[in-house]
Amino acid sequence: MTARTETLIPKIGVITDVRQDTPDIKTFRVVTPDGVKAFDHRPGQCAMLSIPGVGEAMFSITSSPTNTEYMEFSIKKCGCVTEWLHQAEVGQQITIRGPYGNPFPVDDAFVGKNMLFIAGGVGLAPLRSVINYCRHYRDRYGKIDIVYGSRSKDDLLDYKEIIEEWSTDAGVNVHLTIDREQEGWDGHVGFVPNYVKELGFDTDKVAVLCGPPIMIKFTLQGLIELGFDKTQVYTTLELRMKCGVGKCGRCNVGAKYVCKDGPVFRCDELDELPSEY
């Protein structure tokens, strides 16, 4: 049989660590059975994970490409595949294929810029890859601000890493917020879009947004009010996907396929697309 370069046929991955991050989000560490990364990726790219008989779904790769040992996926329990993954134990094999989509322009448009990352809930998962990439190549970027909000303290993803690593980095400012007052929380309380406006950032930055669609919408509005131009703001979209290579026909927004032309879009590019995402 002739050699085929396959895009739809996955590789085997092994879950080597499971971390319960929040009540409904777990972070899975995945390598091949040989103990290496299944493939290289760029920050913001995605991978298709599947469990035979359950289904296949697209997830953003939350670990940075600078992690040479393994890939990580932060996954919220909300559907068939994710529920199955949440009961999986260390040693469980899954299938993995990718990487898919366009990454954040970390090596061009972001270079030399002050960075503002804004995430809501599990929306931190795709941004963690970029944040850790920027932290790894710290001297390539200016000041880094991270605004992250969730429903409660317990729902903050990667809390330990944020507190112990991100917050202690020179030139990195972390601004956390939760939706409602909570015992044991003396930080900011309120929704992300309002918090961003309260913080009142200078516009000498590139902003990267990810979160629930409603959060993205209002945060973008807030940034515009602060004087940001849409060409300075990036986000990453998520729609249903089956193939990951722009052929199965379901993740399009207008003539663009999120899996192949996205998932990363600059907000002025989104203006060119119909509001069907």
Q: Which CB, 131 or 220, lies closer to another protein?
A: 220
In the complex, least distance from residue 240 CB atom to another protein, rounded to whole angstroms: 5
Contact footprint for another protein (CB under 8 A) = 1, 4-12, 50, 52-56, 78-80, 82, 89, 91-95, 238-240, 242-243, 245, 247-252, 254-255, 273-274, 276-277
Q: At 22, phi and psi to the nearest 5? A: -140, 175
In the complex, least distance from residue 65 CB atom to another protein, rounded to whole angstroms: 20
Q: Which CB, 113 or 260, lies closer to another protein?
A: 260
Q: Which CB, 55 or 105, lies closer to another protein?
A: 55
Beta bridge partners of 74: 27
Q: Which CB, 34 or 89, lies closer to another protein?
A: 89
Q: Which CB, 109 or 239, lies closer to another protein?
A: 239
Q: Which CB, 52 or 200, lies closer to another protein?
A: 52
HEC secondary structure over the chain: CCCCCCCCCCEEEEEEEEEEEECCEEEEEEECCCCCCCCCCCCCCEEEEEECCCEEEEEECCCCCCCCCCEEEEEECCCHHHHHHHCCCCCCEEEEEEEECECCCCCCCCCCCEEEEEEEHHHHHHHHHHHHHHHHCHHHCCCEEEEEEECCHHHCCCHHHHHHHHCCCCCEEEEEEECCCCCCCCCEECCHHHHHHHHCCCCCEEEEEECCHHHHHHHHHHHHHCCCCHHHEEEECCCCCCCCCCCCCCCEECCEECCCCCEEEEHHHHHCCCCCC
Give CA–CA dist 266/260, Å, rounded.
15
Q: Which CB, 5 or 68, lies closer to another protein?
A: 5
In the complex, least distance from residue 134 CB atom to another protein, rounded to whole angstroms: 28
In the complex, least distance from residue 276 CB atom to another protein, rounded to whole angstroms: 6
In the complex, least distance from residue 7 CB atom to another protein, rounded to whole angstroms: 4
Q: What is the largest CA-CA distance in the chain?
A: 64
In the complex, least distance from residue 272 CB atom to another protein, rounded to whole angstroms: 8
Q: Which CB, 7 or 182, lies closer to another protein?
A: 7
In the complex, least distance from residue 158 CB atom to another protein, rounded to whole angstroms: 20
In the complex, least distance from residue 93 CB atom to another protein, rounded to whole angstroms: 4
Residues with Cβ within 8 Å of residue 128, at least 6 apart in sequence: 62, 63, 64, 74, 157, 158, 161
